[in-house]
C-alpha cells in the first residue's frame, strides 16, 4: 500500500523552510525583484539550516535526507520566489548530485564536501548561444596539453554565474565523435582565463543571478575531468534528471503560492454584492489550480521514490517536469485573471509569479522536448537502461570519511 504521508522529519523540514521563506524572503522579494538583485546571503542562511546539501550523504558534508525531502525544500522555496529554488536546483540538483554520482573520492572530498556544507557554491555550464536542446551543437572545446586541458568557449543562461565557486562545464574533447566526444570538467572561478557576466532585462526570475561564462585558454588540471573522456553527454543527461526533478518540485510550490494568494483575494474582493469566490467561473480557475497542484505533487513524489530506490527515472522525471511547469504557468495566468486589473500590477505577487513561471517551461528541456520524449517512450523508440553508476539509493550507506 502506498503511503502518501510525510515523515516526521519531512514535516519538520517543511515547517522550517516555510518559516524561513515567510521571514527571510517574502518581506523583501518585491524589492529584490524590482532592482534585479540576487540576495546571496540567503545561500549562507540556507547552508546554516543544512539545506545546501539536503540529500547529500553525511559522510560528504550533507544532511543525509532522502530525495523527496529535497523536493519539499524546493516546493517551499519557490512558494517564496523561483530565484532561490533555482539556486538550490543548480547547486544541489545539477552540480552536487552529479559529483556524488560520477566523482572520484578525491573530487568528492575537494569539491562536494564544501558544497554540501554550503562553504562553496556550485553551478552548471551546458547551454551555449547556439546549443540548447541540440547539445551536440556546442562549440566549447577542451584540448589536452600535458597535465592540463585547455578550455575555450562560452556558456550562456547559467544560473549563479557570478556567485558560484565551482562550475561543471561540458566541452568537446573530440568533435568528430559528436555526442560521444563531449567531456565534463570541474572549473574553478579562480582559474586564469575564466570570467562571467550577468544577463539583465529578463522577463522573470529577476531576483536571480543568470548570465554568461567565458573560457579563454583556461587551464584545467586532468584531475578535474569528471568521469572519462567522452562520457560528458551521459553525465549531462543524468544531471538533468536531478535538475528537472527539482524544477518540477519548485513548480508545485508556485502552484501552491498561486492558490494561496488567489484564495486570500477571493475573500477580500467583492463584485455584484458578494465575494468573487462565490462566482462559479472563479471557482473553476481555483479548482484547476488545485487539480494541477495535486497531480504535479504526485508525479514529483513518484520520481523521488524511484530516486530513493536508486532506479533510473528519466521518463518519470521528464513527465513530472513537463506537467508541473505547464500547470504552474496556467495557475499563474489564472491567478492574474482572478486578481483582475490588480493582477497586472506588482502590488500583488501574482504578477511576479506569472513572469517567473515562463522560464521553467523552457529550461532543462523545453515543453516540446519533453512531449517528444514521452511519445518516444510510448512508441518504443526510447528505452532507459540502468546506468553503470546510478545515483546512490537512500538511506545512504555510511562509510568512513577519508581524512586529508
pLDDT in tens, 206-263: 999 999 999 999 999 999 999 999 999 999 999 999 999 999 999 999 999 999 999 9
Which set of grid coordinates corresponds to residue 242?
536531478
- Pick from 295, 276, 294: which is nearest to 334 by CA? 276
Query: Is pLDDT at 65 greater than 50 in this prediction?
Result: yes
**210-221/225-226 β-pairing:** unpaired
- 93-116 pLDDT, tens digit per residue, is 999 999 999 999 999 999 999 999
Instruction: Report residue 403's pLDDT band, with 50, 70 and 90 as the boundaries.
Output: very low
Pairwise CA distance, residues 88 & 244, whole Å: 12
Cα 55–Cα 60–Cα 65 angle in degrees, nearest 5: 20
- 114-141 pLDDT, tens digit per residue, is 999 999 999 999 999 999 999 999 999 9
- 27-61 pLDDT, tens digit per residue, is 999 999 999 999 999 999 999 999 999 999 999 99
Determine whether 106 is an active site residue: no
Q: Where are the domains of the chain?
A: 8-121, 123-233, 237-379
Q: Which CATH number fits domain 123-233: 3.40.50.300, 3.10.110.10, 2.40.110.10, 3.50.50.60?
A: 2.40.110.10
**pLDDT for the residue 399:** 52
Pairwise CA distance, residues 284 & 331, whole Å: 11
- What 8-state DSSP symbol labels residue 131? B
Instruction: Report residue 402's pLDDT band, with 50, 70 and 90 as the boundaries.
Output: very low
Residue of 76, 212, 351, 364 with catalytic role: 364
Where does 8-121 sit in CATH, by number?
1.10.540.10
**pLDDT for the residue 401:** 41
- What 8-state DSSP symbol labels residue 128? B
Query: Is pLDDT at 334 greater than 60 in this prediction?
Result: yes
- 344-382 pLDDT, tens digit per residue, is 999 999 999 999 999 999 999 999 999 999 999 999 999
**pLDDT for the residue 394:** 96
Query: Is pLDDT at 400 greater than 60 in this prediction?
Result: no
**pLDDT for the residue 387:** 84
Which set of grid coordinates corresponds to residue 366?
523545453
Pairwise CA distance, residues 103 & 148, whole Å: 18
The alpha helices in 202-309, defined as continuous H runs, are 232-268, 280-308
Instruction: Report residue 398's pLDDT band, with 50, 70 and 90 as the boundaries.
Output: low
Superfamily of domain 237-379 in CATH is Butyryl-CoA Dehydrogenase, subunit A, domain 3 (1.20.140.10)
Share the mean pLDDT of the chain: 96
Pairwise CA distance, residues 392 & 241, whole Å: 14
Amino acid at each position: 500500500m502506498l503511503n502518501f504521508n510525510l515523515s516526521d522529519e519531512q514535516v519538520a523540514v517543511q515547517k522550517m523552510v516555510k518559516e524561513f521563506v515567510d521571514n527571510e524572503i517574502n518581506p523583501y522579494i518585491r524589492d529584490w525583484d524590482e532592482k534585479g538583485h540576487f540576495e546571496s546571503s540567503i545561500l549562507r542562511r540556507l547552508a546554516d539550516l543544512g539545506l545546501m546539501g539536503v540529500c547529500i550523504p553525511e559522510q560528504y558534508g550533507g544532511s543525509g535526507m532522502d530525495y523527496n525531502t529535497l523536493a519539499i525544500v524546493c516546493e517551499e522555496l519557490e512558494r517564496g520566489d523561483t530565484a532561490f529554488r533555482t539556486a538550490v536546483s543548480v547547486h544541489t540538483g545539477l552540480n552536487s548530485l552529479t559529483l556524488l554520482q560520477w566523482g572520484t573520492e578525491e573530487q568528492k572530498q575537494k569539491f562536494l564536501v564544501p558544497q554540501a556544507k554550503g562553504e562553496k557554491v556550485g553551478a552548471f555550464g551546458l547551454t551555449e548561444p547556439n546549443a540548447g536542446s541540440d547539445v551536440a551543437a556546442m562549440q566549447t572545446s577542451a584540448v589536452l596539453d600535458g597535465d592540463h586541458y585547455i578550455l575555450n568557449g562560452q556558456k550562456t543562461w547559467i544560473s549563479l554565474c557570478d556567485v558560484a565557486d565551482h562550475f561543471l562545464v561540458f566541452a568537446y574533447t573530440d568533435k568528430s565523435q559528436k555526442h560521444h566526444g563531449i567531456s565534463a570538467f570541474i572549473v574553478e572561478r579562480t582559474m586564469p582565463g575564466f570570467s562571467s557576466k550577468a544577463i539583465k532585462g529578463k522577463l522573470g526570475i529577476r531576483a536571480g543571478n543568470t548570465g554568461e561564462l567565458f573560457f579563454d585558454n583556461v587551464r584545467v588540471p586532468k584531475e578535474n575531468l569528471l568521469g572519462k573522456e567522452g562520457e560528458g553527454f551521459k553525465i549531462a543527461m543524468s544531471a538533468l534528471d536531478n535538475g528537472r526533478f527539482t524544477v518540477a518540485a519548485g513548480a508545485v510550490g508556485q502552484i501552491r503560492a498561486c492558490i494561496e494568494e488567489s484564495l486570500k483575494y477571493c475573500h477580500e474582493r467583492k463584485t455584484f454584492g458578494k465575494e468573487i469566490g462565490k462566482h462559479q467561473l472563479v471557482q473553476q480557475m481555483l479548482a484547476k489550480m488545485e487539480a494541477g497542484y495535486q497531480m504535479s505533487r504526485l508525479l514529483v513524489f513518484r520520481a523521488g521514490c524511484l530516486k530513493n530506490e536508486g532506479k533510473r527515472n528519466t521518463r518519470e522525471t521528464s513527465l513530472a517536469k513537463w506537467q508541473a511547469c505547464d500547470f504552474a504557468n496556467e495557475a499563474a495566468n489564472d491567478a492574474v485573471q482572478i486578481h483582475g486589473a490588480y493582477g497586472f500590477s506588482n502590488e500583488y505577487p501574482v504578477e511576479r509569479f506569472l513572469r517567473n513561471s515562463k522560464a521553467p517551461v523552457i529550461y532543462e528541456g523545453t515543453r516540446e522536448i519533453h512531449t517528444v520524449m514521452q511519445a518516444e517512450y510510448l512508441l518504443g523508440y526510447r528505452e532507459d537502461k540502468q546506468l553503470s553508476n546510478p545515483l546512490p539509493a537512500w538511506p545512504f550507506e555510511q562509510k568512513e570519511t577519508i581524512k586529508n
